Amino acid sequence: MLPAPADARWLAPRDARDPFLVLQSPFWSYDSIALVADGEACLFDPGGRPEDVAALRDAVRARGALVRHVVLTHSHHDHLRGWDEFPEARLWLPAAAAAKPREHKQRDVAFQEVIDERLGRVGAARRFPDHAETFAERAAFTVGALEVELRFLPGHSLCTSVAFVPAERALVSADYLVSPGLPYCRWQPRAFEAAMVTLRAWCAELAIERVLPAHHAPIEGHAAVLAAIDAERAYFAFLRERVRALLAEGVEPALVTRRAAAEMRARRGPSLGARARQDGDNARRVVAEERGAALS
């Protein structure tokens, strides 16, 4: 197996023919991902901690490949790390991320600095990747003989995209499907739900067999991929119904959020520990949407 920091582990390659390298860090179970083919490599949201980025780079080199592309799927601060280690590569960013107001970009960078300090990386100058090549809806390029297709898919955030490698029947899903049954929505639940409908259609059309999310575990098998997407959709359908019912009963909105979140945890059964905080965030966002809908 490839060398890795002592507390990180390789989730891919699965075998000698696998073109993916996936290094899972203990830092937020973050997965640094590379696609390597025919002496070329593309990195997807490469890091992570500096040592994880370095291990990914060394693994790519060990395969005799040059990093030609670095894809930043969206501009959340955990995904905007490591790109500046590869100045020779084409850097890709959704146009919606590049179009964010300057103060929002500064906030993304400030979050990176907070994380850097936590990781003991003091004094590192961070900046927003303003020079990246952007795409509004889709972009495509090749890594060796493999085509990579970037598709804009807002929902997790207003600027999220995903990447398909059709020949491998693989999806690099960014912060979608990181924890099926517990959607990570950091924007509008309605947009997230719409994104899941779109993603299901794309995964069916491309017969996707493998999902590589940016955190936690890969999903293997076409049926498991569709089931994971369906679990996200079922979650929000259930949550929205409960929020509507509680609001209709006249329950105060902050209490609706707490009660609905508790119901989502109970519905799931086994506790996901600290991750279950996301139920509260999802519930708060659905309550805001439903109250907006009721007011309009």
Question: Stretches 73-81, 86-94, 141-149, 235-243: which one binds Fe ion (CB under 5 A)?
Answer: 73-81
Looking at the Cβ atoms of 61 and 277, the one nearer to Fe ion is 277
Query: Does residue 168 belong to the site contacting Fe ion (CB under 5 A)?
Result: no
Query: Does residue 232 belong to the site contacting Fe ion (CB under 5 A)?
Result: no
Question: Stretches 49-57, 86-94, 110-118, 175-183: which one binds Fe ion (CB under 5 A)?
Answer: 175-183
Looking at the Cβ atoms of 76 and 240, the one nearer to Fe ion is 76
Binding mask 176-215 for Fe ion (x = CB under 5 A): --------------------------------------x-
| 254: nearest Cα among 291, 212, 203 | 291
Query: Does residue 31 belong to the site contacting Fe ion (CB under 5 A)?
Result: no
Shortest separation between residue 159's beta carbon and Fe ion, angstroms: 10
| Structure-token match 């804009």, residue found | 152
Shortest separation between residue 213's beta carbon and Fe ion, angstroms: 9
CA dist 215 and 184 (Å) reads 11
Query: Does residue 285 belong to the site contacting Fe ion (CB under 5 A)?
Result: no
Residue from 76, 151, 200, 284 binding Fe ion (CB under 5 A): 76
Looking at the Cβ atoms of 57 and 79, the one nearer to Fe ion is 79
Looking at the Cβ atoms of 2 and 115, the one nearer to Fe ion is 115
Shortest separation between residue 139's beta carbon and Fe ion, angstroms: 20
DSSP the chain: -----TT-EEEE-SSTT--EEEEE-SGGGBEEEEEEETTEEEEES-BSSHHHHHHHHHHHHHTT-EEEEEE-----TTTSBSGGG-TTSEEEEEHHHHTS-HHHHHHHHHHHHHHHHHTT-TT------TTSEEESSEEEEEETTEEEEEEE-TTSSTT-EEEEEGGGTEEEEETTTSSTTS---SS-HHHHHHHHHHHHHHHHHTT--EEEESBS--EESHHHHHHHHHHHHHHHHHHHHHHHHHHHTT--HHHHHHHHHHHHHHHH-S--GGGGHHHHHHHHHHHHHHHHHHH-
The encoded tokens of residue 45 equal: 């949201």
Query: Does residue 78 belong to the site contacting Fe ion (CB under 5 A)?
Result: yes
Shortest separation between residue 271's beta carbon and Fe ion, angstroms: 21
Question: Stretches 84-92, 173-181, 253-261, 284-292: which one binds Fe ion (CB under 5 A)?
Answer: 173-181
Looking at the Cβ atoms of 45 and 290, the one nearer to Fe ion is 45
Looking at the Cβ atoms of 52 and 290, the one nearer to Fe ion is 52
Residue from 40, 175, 193, 290 binding Fe ion (CB under 5 A): 175
Q: Which spans of this chain sit near Fe ion (rule: CB under 5 A)?
A: 76, 78, 175, 214
